[in-house]
Structure 1
Amino acid sequence: MTRPLSSIERSIQNRIGWLQEEERKSIESRGEIGRMEFWLRVTRTEISREVKAGRGDAVTAFTLVCRLFKLVLEKRQAGDPRLFDHLMQYADTVLKQHSPRS
């Protein structure tokens, strides 16, 4: 027998459901571009919350991630897909291990 969810657990579950539904709607309306735009909006909101909470290093972290991604794309465009492949593999591994959306 399972116990009822606490209000915090229900809130987390509802948030995950909302994220999944909004991502699905974004994909239906604009495809992968819609998915990307959705996650950029969600991330921007989270970064704003972090800054308001006094954790401005979130801006620095996001900037570094963007710079890394730009570098990886440039390397792939130059004919070396290894960094892109490694980054995609690492991102997939981390999300599978830590994402509550699984």
Structure 2
Amino acid sequence: MTRPLTSIERSVQGRNDWLKEEERRSIESRGEVGRMEFWLRVTRSRINKDVKAGRGDVIPGFTSVCRLFKLAMDKRAAGDQRLWDHLMQYADQVLSQHDPRH
């Protein structure tokens, strides 16, 4: 027998369900571009909340992630696929281990 969820657990579950549904709707509406735009909006909102909460290190962190992604795209466009492949493999590993939506 499983115990009932706490109010915090229900809140987290509700948030995750909302994210899944909004992502699905974004994909239905605009395909992968819609999915990307949805996650950019969610991320921007979260960055603003973190900055207001005194966690300003989120800005250089996001900047670094964006620079890394652009570098991987540039290298791939120049014919070197390795960084792109490594980045995608790492992203898949991290998301499969830590993203509750999977």
TM-score by length of structure 1 reads 0.99
Quote how far apart the aligned CAs of 1:22 are: 0.1
User: Residues of 2 paired with 1:25 and 1:71: CA distance?
Assistant: 30
Aligned residue for 2:34? 34
Identity %: 73
1:14 aligns with 2:24: no
Q: When the two structures are aligned, how many residues end up with a matched partner? A: 102
User: Residues of 2 paired with 1:75 and 1:2: CA distance?
Assistant: 50
Equivalent residues in 2 for 1:32-71 (5 A)?
Answer: 32-71=32-71
**5+ residue gaps, structure 1:** none
1:3 aligns with 2:3: yes
What is the SS of the residue equivalent to 2:3?
A: coil
What is the SS of the residue equivalent to 1:20?
A: helix
Q: Provide the alpha-carbon RMSD of the alignment.
A: 0.5
- Code of the residue aligned with 2:25 in structure 1: it is K
**5+ residue gaps, structure 2:** none
User: Residues of 1 paired with 2:2 and 2:61: CA distance?
Assistant: 39
**Deviating 4+ runs (over 3 angstroms):** none
Quote how far apart the aligned CAs of 1:80 are: 0.3
User: Residues of 1 paired with 2:61 and 2:84: CA distance?
Assistant: 19
User: Residues of 2 paired with 1:36 and 1:13: CA distance?
Assistant: 22
